[in-house]
């Protein structure tokens, strides 16, 4: 069981010992090289035997650390702090709270604030001198790195800050455990106990309830208190051999041969630009050991001390990387740092993440950059990352991209089902599968378009119903309302088993069933989009779609609108059936083709009109249009001829409407009856909704209202993309997006919705990614950090100016 209290280590940032990343450092520690073995000059410089990679799984790290000029953190503080903040999950949207920076990195705070990085406000940074901790006297003689770790822990434990960044190169990012859990951070490990001793003075800064011993004595007593089935890893510098001294007291004879000559991180090496041992690097190794559940090879050990008695044989030589088997116990690591009579002792406990839940079959990867060049570098870096990390859960990578870093203007997105596919799409050969663009003007201003009956088809949104619980819950809710009035379960009808398809199709051909079913689909889709953060600025409905717009706008309740759709369906079922013929002509030219039994049903654009005709007249109309060389198409299916609907039926509809509570719209609705904004008086007048049932659909006039409102994107909330195509014909500079596939596409509802989500995000929509992953226990991984152009330029300027 993982510790539930203490301080969570959520990130390690910066370069260490010449490695480009923490991941590269760990790969070298365990003898793994990502792409190819080192060149021969590496072995020559480090005096390491050249063992070809095909003959050994491990390449000794050994003397590499003796090359002082290989690692020189130098002026990397600015980039390290930037990386630490990004890996801490601060994006500008997610509240970062108060940030405290300790050690050398504190000098990089002001330059980043001047650049307004991530919109961090100066007030969010807590100066490291803001408090006078009780441990100040104990810390005076500590090296800067150890002092920064102790202070960071102290500030967090006493609620002086919410995020603490300590160290130099590398830097540790710390949060309280419960905060890290709430932020969905990847928790590398937990500092379950931290104690300080100077001479006879001692203080415990952090100690979880899971700790079993006093923190200041814990490491000294490891040999007595190890669980029987647990391997405890101890990171112990030679200069702080407290554990070794404790064993000395238990031996019959003192030993000349030390237990360990040293550990893989050689603590006697000095940083090139700092006269201090890299204690954080040593702690980093311990944290990674616990997190990776793998013990690195103890390459500095020549042999175990033969004089050590058998009761501490749990401490053993480890010549090769070895999996750390938990055997039902927590994995714990200890570190003792001693400088003179000053000792800092830590216990690091593993964190076991909760089960992640079932991910979506398709995952959306998002990338962004301040410039097109930044974006290109991101995709190049991630191509290699996907290729080299095929063991990672793709959903966790997607979640990390969307919640763990800021979004910039230039954006790209891909959809894939595994990491190999991601790497392929990011290659030049498959660049056509990427979606890319720049954030558009008024990007958050989106009009929702609701299609009418002509776009509906059996099994529409079935895949979405099966894969998105939120959508399914809304559909089940609306299905119950409909079933109470009609006796038909629309979910069983819309999503039938193959054996029941014919029966379902017969039910779907009745308007009494299909009209409320389409309305339910549109309402459930709207709730899904709004849940994900895509909210409408204006609403436009085509035919039945105006009822959907009225519900979303607050005029009708969902229950009342579904009741109206059922009544409308019954009226249409009794009406005379005809056909709809679309023709590429203007409204004025259409007058020449009107006759008895033929009416204009809808004006879609200046150059596209639909007629509703009886079947006999429809055949004659097609001949006339063909003779006039006018494009035309008869839509499949039968439709009610509105001219055949009796006044008595409309009176019955109005009587039902008069019993319903009608409200003024809360979101502007553009009427498809008049082409203007629906007024308070119209929305609350039952007569308007009776007229709307049989009126000509003035979609062309309605869509042109968007230009006056400076709305440049539309989302079709329903099956197909017919309304988006109509909008494109209006000669407006407008981006159109669709929610579901059309009947002819059949590419998959989930893929279609995610593709639209990606395009909306690229266009600039503010997606609520936390809600998008609700129900899944995802974790934010440490992803490649590609430094933008401005950060490289600023860092170079500061180096040239000797500011850093």
CA 675 to each of CA 318, 552, 703: distance values in angstroms, whole numbers, following the listed order? 78, 18, 8
Q: Which of 612, 643, 674 is the last residue of a domain?
A: 643
- Count how many Cα atoms sit within 13 Å of the Cα of residue 370 in the half-sphere of its side chain: 9
Within 8 A by CB and 6+ apart from 418, the residues are 390, 394
CATH number at residue 414: 3.30.70.3290
Distance, CA of 793 to CA of 241 (rounded, Å)? 44
CATH of the domain at 147: 3.40.47
Instruction: Identify the CATH number of the domain in which residue 618 sits.
Output: 3.30.70.250
CB contact set of 234 (below 8 Å; sequence gap of 6+) = 219, 222, 243, 315, 333, 334, 335, 336
Q: What is the pLDDT of residue 282?
A: 76
782 falls within a domain: no
Assess whether 570 and 599 both reside in one domain: no
Sequence-ordered list of residues with C-beta below 8 angstroms from that of 185, at least 6 positions apart, any chain: 8, 10, 11, 88, 89, 175, 779, 780
Domain termination residue (choose one: 391, 407, 439): 439
CB 541 within 8 Å of CB 665: no
Instruction: Please report where in the chains the tokens 């398809």 appear, as a residue.
Output: 501
Give the pairing type, strands 713-716 and 735-738. Answer: parallel
Same-domain pairing of 613 and 728: no
pLDDT of residue 77: 72
| One domain for residues 422 and 320 | no
Residues 6 or more apart whose CB falls under 8 angstroms from that of 78 comprise 108, 111, 112, 791, 794, 795, 798, 804
Asked whether 70 and 99 are in contact (CB, 8 A), the reply is: no
Distance (Å, whole) CA 377 – CA 445: 30
Q: CA–CA separation, 523 vs 341, rounded Å?
A: 70
* Rounded alpha-carbon distances, angstroms, from residue 558 to 259, 551, 553, 562, 766: 75, 6, 11, 6, 26
Taking the CA atoms of the chain, what radius of gyration do you get in angstroms? 34
DSSP letters spanning 466-532: HH-HHHHHHHHHHHHHHHHHHS--HHHHHS--GGGHHHHHHHHTSHHHHHHHHHHHHHHHHHHHHHT
CA dihedral 465, 470, 475, 480 (to 10 degrees): 130
Q: Cα–Cα distance between 614 and 603 in angstroms, integer?
A: 19
**Do residues 614 and 554 share a domain?**
no
The answer to the question of residue 673 being in a domain is yes
- Helix %, strand %, coil % for the chain, to 5? 45, 20, 40
Q: Which residues, other chains included, contact 468 with Cβ-Cβ below 8 Å and sequence gap of 6+? A: 528, 750, 753
Residues 339 and 480 both lie in one domain: no
Helix (H) or strand (E) run with residue 646 in it: none
Beta carbons within 10 angstroms of residue 319's beta carbon: 11
Residue 146 lies in a domain: yes
Quote the number of domains for the chain.
4
pLDDT at position 74, please? 41
Residue bearing tokens 């095929």: 390
Q: How many CB atoms lie within 10 A of CB 426?
A: 27
Q: For each successive 10 residues of the chain (804 residues), what is the average pLDDT?
A: 69 76 77 44 36 34 32 55 76 67 79 58 69 67 81 88 84 90 84 74 48 39 39 42 36 32 28 46 82 70 47 52 64 72 78 78 92 90 89 89 84 94 86 86 85 89 92 97 96 93 94 97 96 95 97 97 97 95 94 92 94 94 94 92 92 96 97 96 97 95 90 90 86 78 67 92 91 85 75 63 51
Q: Name which of 39, 452, 57, 3 is nearest 193 in CA terms.
A: 3
Position 124 in a domain: yes
In a domain, 371, yes or no: yes
**End-to-end Cα separation, the chain, in angstroms:** 44
Considering the entire predicted model, what is its pTM? Answer: 0.74
- DSSP, collapsed to helix, strand or coil, labels residue 627 as helix
Instruction: Look at residues 85, 56, 259 and name the one whose alpha carbon lies nearest to residue 173.
Output: 85
Q: What span, in angstroms and rounded, lies between the C-alpha atoms of 334 and 314?
A: 14
Q: Is residue 693 part of a domain?
A: yes
Residue 49: Cβ-neighbour burial (10 angstroms; 0-12, 13-18, 19+): exposed
* Residue 181 to residues 4, 5, 693, Cα–Cα distance (Å): 10, 11, 52
750 shares a domain with 619: no
Q: Which of 596, 624, 643 is the last residue of a domain?
A: 643
State the DSSP string of 66-107.
G-GGG---TT-HHHHHHHHHHHTT--SSS----EEE-GGGGG
DSSP string, 213-246: S-HHHHGGGHHHH--TT---EEE--GGG-HHHHH
Q: How far is CA 64 from CA 45, 242, 495, 679, in A?
A: 8, 27, 63, 77
- 734 and 592 assigned to the same domain: no
Of 189, 149, 208, which is closest to residue 10 (Cα–Cα)?
189
Residue 797 located in a structural domain: no
How far does CA 667 lie from the centroid of its chain? 29
- Which ranges of 352-447 does DSSP label H, i.e. alpha helix? 372-388, 394-403, 419-426
Beta-bridge partner residues of 174: 9, 164
Residues 653 and 728 grouped into a single domain: yes
Q: Note the pLDDT of residue 364.
A: 96
Please name the residues in contact with 396: beta carbons below 8 A apart, sequence gap of 6 or more: 356, 778, 779, 780, 781
pLDDT of residue 678: 97
Q: What is the dihedral of CA 85, 86, 89, 95, to 10 degrees?
A: 60
Does residue 790 belong to any structural domain of this protein? no
- Co-location of 731 and 634 in the same domain: no
Q: Which residue range forms the structural domain that includes residue 639?
A: 576-643
Mark whether 421 and 478 lie in a shared domain: no
**Are 275 and 384 in a shared domain?**
no
Count Cβ neighbours within 10 Å for each residue of 90-117 and write b for 16 or more, e otherwise.
bbeebebebbbbbbbbbebbebbeeeeb
Q: What is the CATH number of the domain that holds 743?
A: 3.40.366.10
**How far apart are the C-alpha atoms of 348 and 331, rounded to whole Å?**
9
Same domain, 136 and 64: yes
């Amino acid at each position: 069981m993982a510790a539930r209290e203490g301080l969570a280590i959520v990130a390690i940032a910066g370069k260490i010992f010449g490695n480009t990343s923490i991941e590269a450092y760990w790969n070298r520690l365990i003898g793994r090289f990502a792409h190819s073995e080192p060149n021969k000059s590496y072995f020559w410089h480090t005096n390491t035997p050249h063992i070809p990679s095909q003959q050994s799984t491990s390449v000794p790290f050994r003397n590499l650390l003796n090359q002082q000029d290989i690692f020189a953190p130098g002026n990397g503080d600015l980039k390290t702090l930037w990386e630490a903040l990004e890996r801490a999950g601060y994006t500008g949207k997610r509240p970062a709270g108060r940030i405290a920076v300790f050690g050398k990195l504190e000098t990089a705070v002001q330059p980043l604030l001047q650049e307004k990085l991530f919109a961090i406000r100066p007030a969010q940074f807590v100066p490291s001198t803001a408090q006078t901790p009780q441990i100040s006297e104990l810390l005076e003689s500590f090296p800067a790195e150890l002092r920064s770790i102790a202070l960071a822990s102290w500030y967090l434990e006493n609620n002086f800050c919410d995020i603490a960044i300590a160290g130099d190169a590398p830097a540790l990012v710390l949060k309280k455990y419960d905060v890290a859990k709430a932020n969905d951070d990847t928790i590398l490990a937990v500092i379950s106990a931290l104690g300080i001793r100077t001479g006879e003075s001692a203080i415990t800064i952090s100690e979880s309830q899971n700790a079993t011993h006093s923190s200041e004595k814990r490491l000294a007593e490891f040999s007595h208190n190890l669980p029987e089935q647990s391997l405890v890893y101890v990171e112990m510098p030679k200069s702080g051999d407290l554990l070794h001294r404790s064993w000395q007291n238990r031996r019959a004879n003192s030993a000349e041969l030390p237990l360990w000559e040293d550990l893989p991180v050689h603590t006697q090496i000095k940083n090139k630009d700092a006269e201090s041992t890299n204690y954080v690097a040593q702690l980093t190794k311990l944290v990674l050991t616990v997190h990776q559940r793998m013990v690195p090879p103890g390459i500095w050990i020549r042999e175990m001390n033969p004089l050590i008695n058998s009761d501490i044989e749990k401490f053993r030589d480890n010549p090769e990387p070895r999996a750390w088997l938990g055997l039902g116990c927590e994995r714990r690591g200890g570190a003792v740092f001693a400088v003179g009579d000053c000792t800092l002792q830590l216990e690091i406990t593993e964190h076991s993440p909760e089960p992640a839940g079932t991910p979506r079959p398709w995952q959306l990867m998002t990338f962004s950059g301040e410039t097109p060049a930044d974006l290109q570098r991101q995709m190049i870096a991630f191509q290699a990352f996907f290729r080299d990390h095929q063991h990672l859960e793709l959903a966790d990578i997607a979640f990390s991209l969307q919640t763990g870093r800021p979004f910039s203007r230039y954006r790209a997105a891909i959809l894939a089902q595994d990491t190999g596919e991601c790497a392929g799409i990011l290659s030049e050969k498959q660049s056509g599968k990427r979606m890319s663009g720049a954030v558009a003007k008024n990007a958050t201003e989106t009009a929702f378009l609701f299609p009418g009956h002509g776009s509906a088809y059996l099994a529409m949104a079935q895949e979405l119903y099966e894969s998105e619980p939120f959508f399914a819950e809304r559909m089940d809710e609306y299905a119950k309302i409909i079933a109470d009035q009609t006796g038909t379960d629309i979910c069983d009808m819309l999503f039938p088993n193959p054996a029941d398809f014919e029966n379902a199709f017969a039910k779907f051909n009745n308007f009494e069933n299909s009209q409320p079913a389409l309305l339910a689909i549109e309402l459930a889709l709207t709730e899904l989009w709004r849940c994900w953060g895509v909210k409408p600025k204006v609403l436009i409905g085509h035919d039945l779609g105006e009822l959907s717009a009225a519900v979303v706008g607050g005029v009708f309740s969902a229950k009342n609108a579904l009741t109206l759709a059922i009544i409308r369906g019954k009226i249409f079922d009794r009406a005379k059936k005809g056909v709809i013929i679309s023709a590429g002509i203007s409204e004025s030219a259409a007058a020449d083709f009107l006759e008895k039994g033929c009416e204009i049903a809808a004006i879609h654009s200046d150059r596209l009109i639909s007629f509703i005709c009886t079947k006999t007249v429809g055949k004659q109309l097609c001949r006339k249009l063909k003779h006039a060389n006018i494009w035309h198409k008869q839509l499949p299916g039968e439709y009610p001829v509105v001219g055949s609907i009796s006044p008595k039926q409309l009176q019955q509809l109005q009587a039902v409407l008069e019993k319903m509570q009608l409200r003024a719209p809360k979101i502007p609705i553009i009427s498809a009856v008049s082409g203007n904004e629906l007024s308070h008086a119209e929305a609350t007048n039952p007569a308007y909704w009776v007229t709307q049932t049989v009126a000509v659909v003035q979609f062309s006039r309605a869509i042109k209202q968007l230009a006056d409102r400076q709305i440049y994107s539309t989302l079709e909330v329903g099956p197909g993309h017919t309304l988006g195509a109509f909008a494109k014909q209006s000669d407006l500079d407008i981006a159109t997006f669709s929610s579901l596939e059309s009947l002819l596409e059949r590419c998959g509802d989930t893929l279609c919705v995610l593709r639209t989500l990606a395009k909306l995000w690229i266009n600039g929509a503010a997606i609520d990614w936390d809600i998008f992953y609700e129900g899944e226990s995802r974790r934010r991984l440490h992803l490649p950090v590609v430094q933008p152009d401005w950060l490289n330029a600023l860092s170079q300027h500061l180096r040239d100016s000797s500011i850093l």
